[in-house]
Chain A
């Protein structure tokens, strides 16, 4: 079912208008900030030990979209990142690989070439990332370019200006149109929650993105602070959980930006487990958009394996970024 057809069906309207979308989105239950943050804080107090910790570290590694999104990215830098994805820890071949590497569209080919037939996806940011301030044809061309270069996944940004102006229909159409040119690539929709500010907005943007056909909802570009906080991710996990209750369909969640330590990553996994449920504890449905996180997870992994605390000198990396 095409997104707009399903949207009309869900909203119970014959024509999808901005006012129909507004009523629907504003009819979602509110989010109380204090209660939401309390819940997130309480999930963060879970104490994960021994075998559970080992499992969580490996799972977290397997969920990483290893990311470089700099103006200074070069083919060499991207090749290094892809190589790191292939062999995260040369000292331990049993180390799992991250789910994907995430680059700008013009670097997709370089990444694909380095990764070869390995089961590591290439994700490309598109649609005038990170601001999204471009016309729809430009955004579509950006997307098509990345897909043509072999991107397995497209990370688009929503038009936050349109969203905050109440023009939900434009946001919906852009997502649906981008989805239409993605082909087989899975579409991650970046809400840029740091610009949406309120949890009510995050909830509405999540539902709008799912309604428009997004395969994933993603917190942030990594260029705006705050990025992926635990409570924002909690609200988005509630959204995908409730979306499945409503439609039967699963949508993935990707917190991106600001998650740097194993401890943080494990808190997110606990939240996934207890809020959305264990079906989401899989890199098909949950990702971390991160770069330095991988190295901290590797440090902890070495600590569990050797029993001794490890250091940056024992983490092989082109551009070691640990702290």
Chain B
């Protein structure tokens, strides 16, 4: 009996809740990361294993994604915090149900063994749940009544910055991805995410989780492709309010300083990559996060009103 010829998957972009191919019609080959001894040696005598053709997103795909994100943003921010929390929790449920595929994606993408991939997926799901729980808490934690010297009710509360471009980490293809996307959207921002260039498959599976949960289309938009090609268009886009440069670390041909320079044109809020000096280092995403990824994409609004009879 001959082996069954399997049905291979076509990997597409995720924009506005749909899965389009790149408008450019381009795709690029994605290979499995070397494993075990090969990975330790840093080289392999065997040729790399072909995994898939991923859509190679273009500046126009990025533009379309920003349009979708902008369109979705007011509604997402206006949803009740409880609702956003539930929607995000639902994503974790769906991730759990697709755990097997996520594990396989992580193994393929990161070249880790089964046990570590399992641990990574668990951490990613738990991370997502952690951030989901913040939806109706960060406002109280970060906001409050200001005791001004006068007959005024004066209150400050954080709210979403708007549309955030996110350079997902290059190495940590699932846990890192979740760790940068969840804090952006939980507060009501919408995101245009550029995935790890060489390890895009977990992001595509995450997109499928998002699409089959209750996240409104356009809240998260995911673009696979060449980081150096697409990021300048996001950094200079005047309808993008903020940019997370975390994924500049280890990205081929990406100068994060140049991206920050372009971002200054409309005074985007910039989350710089980890590291010191000009060097960009990908953080250790297994560590417990603090609130800084949430607060980086929040604006504090202060409202005054007189107190009188």
A–B: direct contact at CB < 8 Å: yes
A residues apposed to B, CB below 8 Å: 32-35, 197-199
- Cα–Cα, bound, A198→B309 (Å): 6
Contact digits for B142-160, partner A, Cβ 8 Å, 1 yes 0 no:
0000000011100000000
Closest A residue to B305 by beta carbon equals A34
Give the dominant DSSP class at A's interface: helix
Closest A residue to B306 by beta carbon equals A34
- Cα–Cα, bound, A199→B150 (Å): 19
Closest B residue to A198 by beta carbon equals B309
Give the dominant DSSP class at B's interface: loop
- Cα–Cα, bound, A199→B309 (Å): 8
| A residues near B306, Cβ cutoff 8 Å | 32-35
Closest B residue to A35 by beta carbon equals B306
Q: How many A-B residue pairs have CB under 8 A?
A: 16
Can you name 16 A-B pairs with beta carbons within 8 Å? A32-B306, A32-B308, A33-B151, A33-B306, A33-B308, A33-B309, A34-B150, A34-B151, A34-B152, A34-B306, A34-B307, A34-B308, A35-B306, A197-B309, A198-B309, A199-B309
- Cα–Cα, bound, A320→B150 (Å): 39
* Besides the known contacts A32-B308, A33-B309, A34-B306, 12 further A-B residue pairs in the complex with CB atoms under 8 A apart: A32-B306, A33-B306, A33-B308, A34-B150, A34-B151, A34-B152, A34-B307, A34-B308, A35-B306, A197-B309, A198-B309, A199-B309
- Cα–Cα, bound, A263→B309 (Å): 28
| A residues near B150, Cβ cutoff 8 Å | 34
- CB B154 to nearest CB in A, in angstroms, measures 12
Closest B residue to A33 by beta carbon equals B308
Closest A residue to B308 by beta carbon equals A33
| B residues near A34, Cβ cutoff 8 Å | 150-152, 306-308
| A residues near B151, Cβ cutoff 8 Å | 33-34
- CB B151 to nearest CB in A, in angstroms, measures 5
Contact digits for B269-309, partner A, Cβ 8 Å, 1 yes 0 no:
00000000000000000000000000000000000001111
- B48-76 contacts to A (CB < 8 Å): none
Closest A residue to B307 by beta carbon equals A34
8 A-B pairs with least C-beta separation: A33-B308, A34-B306, A34-B308, A198-B309, A34-B151, A33-B309, A32-B306, A32-B308
- Cα–Cα, bound, A198→B308 (Å): 9
- CB B8 to nearest CB in A, in angstroms, measures 69
| B residues near A197, Cβ cutoff 8 Å | 309
| B residues near A32, Cβ cutoff 8 Å | 306, 308
- CB A235 to nearest CB in B, in angstroms, measures 13
Closest A residue to B151 by beta carbon equals A34
- CB B172 to nearest CB in A, in angstroms, measures 53
- Cα–Cα, bound, A207→B309 (Å): 20
- Cα–Cα, bound, A34→B306 (Å): 6
